Amino acid sequence: MDARLAPLGLAVLAAIVVSSRAATAEGNKSARASAPAGPLAGGMQRGPTGEGTHQEGAREARRNWVTPSVVSSQSPQEVGSSTELPSSGKFLIHTGVEATFASPGFPDDYPPDVWTSWIFQAKDAAATLHVTCPEFALGGQDSLSLRTPEHGRQLFFRDNLTPPAVSSRGRVVAQLRTGRRDHGRFRCTVRAELIREVSESDLPAVQVNDPLCGRTKHTTRIVGGEAAPKNTYPWLVGVTTRSRADMFCEGSIINERFVLTAAHCVARRKLWVLNVQVRKHLRNRDSEELRFKVKRVIKYPGYKRLQDDIALLELDGSLRLLLHNDDVRVRPICLPTTACGGGSGDACFGGRTAVVAGWGVNQQRPKAYPKSLQRVELPVLTSEACEASQPTVITDSMLCTSYSGGGRDACQGDSGGPLMVDTGKSKTTLIGIVSFGKGCGVPEHPAVYTRVSEYYDWIIENARL
């Protein structure tokens, strides 16, 4: 990714968008850090959301805060039959029991400025706790946090695509934190079960353009080049060799077994050294990363240098469990099903704004690699303008982006990575694969991608499960 010359105005705009998000997260964090340890510790600052006139009421409300440490010091209550639990507390859930916990005042809305916590543990150490929240309508500033030893702390907000759900063999700590002006409600169930682990055959296969495809909890719109928030592009993978921590190329998950990348990334590599990195965010060592070996490389039969620069990597393991159970971090991207055919219709994406993401260089000379995933927003050229830019080289099976001011582009190391557009219903579609360019971010030289829509039939034929 190269965004050295991003115009200042746009860069500032991006900074505002980012910092307002960061401020929310920070606000929560600092509130947590300075939070009173007990329900009686009133009068402490909670964050920058205060309103002078409601100071008194807010202080009162703060007296009722129940933090996890408060609950943690309580002795647990046994829950031996399916029941509704109070709006805070520590509970030992018997096997087979399904209990309900809900926001204070449920089914009415909770009042503003709530902090309440629950701790759940299964009575039988071998049982698994399952928490799901069928009713979930929080205020804009509010969050439900679910912490487990397996998954750490997961925050759920109003805008989450899927309702909160977590399973754990250990203890689950739930916390509701709300802003001073917001209200809402939720109801969750917690169930203790002694069951075998879910196996792959219990879950449906994930095919190309599965209903799971292309969704992300983050917005895909951005301006200027910038670091992407974690998990923004859960289909993005690193393509690397088994001995390196970083990657030399990118790819995109399209179903439970196949990754789509550029043929030039893998054409001269030995199969047995290839690795695909999923759940990757940091360019170098990333503790969340999972690696897959590659069982088969299928290059497009016509691939030759810049032509038909597309290949499928068949993983030597299935992503099915991850795609179903870890969909925040691992998801397939949707593929365009209609060919452009060199024309100017909607299927050609001319004039659309797309996003490219990758771990490639931020700067060519001297070479500078980013620490984490980068992304940049770019206009897609019409097929005509694309072909005119390098008449003997560019074909109908390629697509170009070019930012008129220059400076924004994919660059060396971004190859194989996705060029994406929003295709409505919060779906993201893969329209291009980073292929080649003359320099990076040079306005006269548009960047060239493999036009994915022209290969749909080949992909379906070859990525069969």
Bridge partners (DSSP) listed for residue 44: none
Sequence-ordered list of residues with C-beta below 8 angstroms from that of 362, at least 6 positions apart, any chain: 1, 2, 3, 4, 225, 368, 369, 370, 374, 411
Residue 436 binds to ligand ARG (criterion: CB under 6 A): yes
Q: Which stretch binds ligand ARG (CB under 6 A): 283-291, 324-332, 341-349, 432-440?
A: 432-440
Residue 400 binds to ligand ARG (criterion: CB under 6 A): no
Q: Distance between CA atoms of 88 and 174, rounded to whole angstroms? A: 9
Query: Whose Cβ is closer to ligand ARG: residue 309's or residue 327's?
Result: 309
Sequence-ordered list of residues with C-beta below 8 angstroms from that of 392, at least 6 positions apart, any chain: none
Query: Which position among 85, 294, 354, 410 is part of the footprint of ligand ARG (CB under 6 A)?
Result: 410
Burial of 20: CB neighbours in 10 Å, binned 0-12, 13-18, 19+: exposed
Query: Whose Cβ is closer to ligand ARG: residue 206's or residue 394's?
Result: 394
| Continuous segment of H or E residues that includes residue 430 | strand 428-436
Q: Distance between CA atoms of 313 and 277, rounded to whole angstroms? A: 12
Q: Is the dihedral of CA 221, 252, 210, 161 positive or negative?
A: negative
- Please indicate whether residue 75 is annotated as part of the active site: no
Q: Distance between CA atoms of 190 and 381, rounded to whole angstroms? A: 52
Sequence-ordered list of residues with C-beta below 8 angstroms from that of 125, at least 6 positions apart, any chain: none
Shortest reach from residue 13's CB to ligand ARG, in Å: 23
Q: Distance between CA atoms of 40 and 138, rounded to whole angstroms? A: 26
Residue 434 binds to ligand ARG (criterion: CB under 6 A): yes
Q: Distance between CA atoms of 417 and 373, rounded to whole angstroms? A: 11
Nearest to 289 by CA among 324, 326, 254: 326
Query: Which position among 437, 452, 459, 463 is part of the footprint of ligand ARG (CB under 6 A)?
Result: 437
Query: Which position among 256, 387, 414, 454 is part of the footprint of ligand ARG (CB under 6 A)?
Result: 414
Residue 413 binds to ligand ARG (criterion: CB under 6 A): yes
Residue 138 binds to ligand ARG (criterion: CB under 6 A): no
Shortest reach from residue 420's CB to ligand ARG, in Å: 15
Which residue, judged by CB position, is nearest to ligand ARG in the bound state?
Answer: 437
Query: Whose Cβ is closer to ligand ARG: residue 225's or residue 360's?
Result: 360
Q: Distance between CA atoms of 214 and 192, rounded to whole angstroms? A: 33
Per-residue x/- mask for ligand ARG, residues 356 to 385, rule CB under 6 A?
Answer: ----x-------------------------
Shortest reach from residue 271's CB to ligand ARG, in Å: 19
- Please indicate whether residue 415 is annotated as part of the active site: yes
Query: Whose Cβ is closer to ligand ARG: residue 332's or residue 437's?
Result: 437
Query: Whose Cβ is closer to ligand ARG: residue 178's or residue 261's?
Result: 261
DSSP letter assigned to residue 355: E
- One-letter amino acid identity for 129? L
Residue 350 binds to ligand ARG (criterion: CB under 6 A): no
State whether residue 367 is helix, strand or coil. coil
Nearest-5° Cα angle at 397, 259 to 352: 85
- Please indicate whether residue 264 is annotated as part of the active site: yes
Query: Which position among 389, 415, 428, 453 is part of the footprint of ligand ARG (CB under 6 A)?
Result: 415
Residue 238 binds to ligand ARG (criterion: CB under 6 A): no
Q: Which of 402, 415, 435, 453 is catalytic?
A: 415
Per-residue x/- mask for ligand ARG, residues 209 to 228, rule CB under 6 A?
Answer: --------------------
- Residues designated catalytic: 264, 309, 415
Residues forming contacts to ligand ARG in the complex (CB under 6 A) are 360, 409-415, 434, 436-437, 440, 447
